[in-house]
Amino acid sequence: MSALLCFVAGAFFLYVIVYYSVFRGASCSSSVTLKGKTVIVTGSNTGIGKATALLLAKRGARLILACRNKEKAEAAAFDIRRESGNNQVVVMQLDLASFKSVHSFAETFLKTEPRLDILINNAGLMGPGHTEDGFGMVFGVNHLGHFLLTNLLLERLQQCGPSRVVTVAALLHRFGNIDFSLLASKKDLVSGQSAWHNFQAYCNSKLCNVLFTRELANRLEGTSVTCYCLHPGVIYTELCRSVSLWQQLLMMPFAKLFFLDPEGGSQTTLYCALQEGIEPFSGRYFSNCALQEVGAKGRDDALARKLWEVSERLTSFP
């Protein structure tokens, strides 16, 4: 029995060491308040998006929950108002898998909201399918939808500067690739819909997020708008809701033991949105509330510029 107790104690000690040294992230220590500021958070009805929105609401922001499912978003807004004591929480429907919906959201927002101080491109998914416009779902939602949304709102951001665009990328951008010939022929960056293709599509879309941020910063140089991308940490949320049940069951035990909760996963997003003094690092990549280097492809300015030009054509913007 004593040997068993020693084993259990040793295993628990090892778990604590690994969790706190590898998986547990840093916390955003900024004391900035947001009274009088307006923030959009996409995909904010669940997961790290909801956690991010709640913490921003607690700082006094006027908060726009930009979500596909209006019913779930209204429930999230109710929770956020109750927990934060902030009644300035508004739901606006946005389906990033539809260019029509993105245009409609932007048009409504610009007509009804005089300010935009922070845009947080948080929504993301992993799974099969195609967007309303025929693109691979992951590429269409994670990159093209946010690319179009940001550009449609950019003038308002400039009018309200200093302002910020924060895009949630991922460490997996290092495994991403961009094949423009495949994109031209398949309207996607992968050639199939298998579980492996879905994973690769996610990596590719996160590389797009990094390159989008880099090129956006180049185009905004000298303006009052800065932009950042980030790895939020390893988090178990509804990101994988589109993968098979057996894959979710395999992930769950490990996720419960090691992955960050949504509040922990929101900290680097908050850091990029709020931290004073990071403006010289516009276009850069953050993780664990600190500046980090991206993979080699994420530093390729020519690739970033080409992706931007191709994305303009695909979204018919401007």
Catalytically annotated residues: 202
For residue 201, the tally of other CB atoms under 10 A from its CB is 25
Judged by phi (left if over 0) then psi (alpha if -120 to 50, else beta), residue 26 lies in beta
DSSP structure class, residue 284: -
Compute the C-alpha angle 72/76/81, nearest 5°.
Answer: 150
Cα–Cα distance list, 126 to 42, 166, 264, 288, 299 (Å) = 16, 20, 21, 22, 24
Token reading at 22: 């590898």
List the structure tokens of 188. 């996607």
Other beta carbons within 10 angstroms of residue 121's beta carbon come to 29
Q: Where are the alpha helices (DSSP H) in 41-191?
A: 47-58, 70-84, 99-112, 137-139, 146-159, 180-186
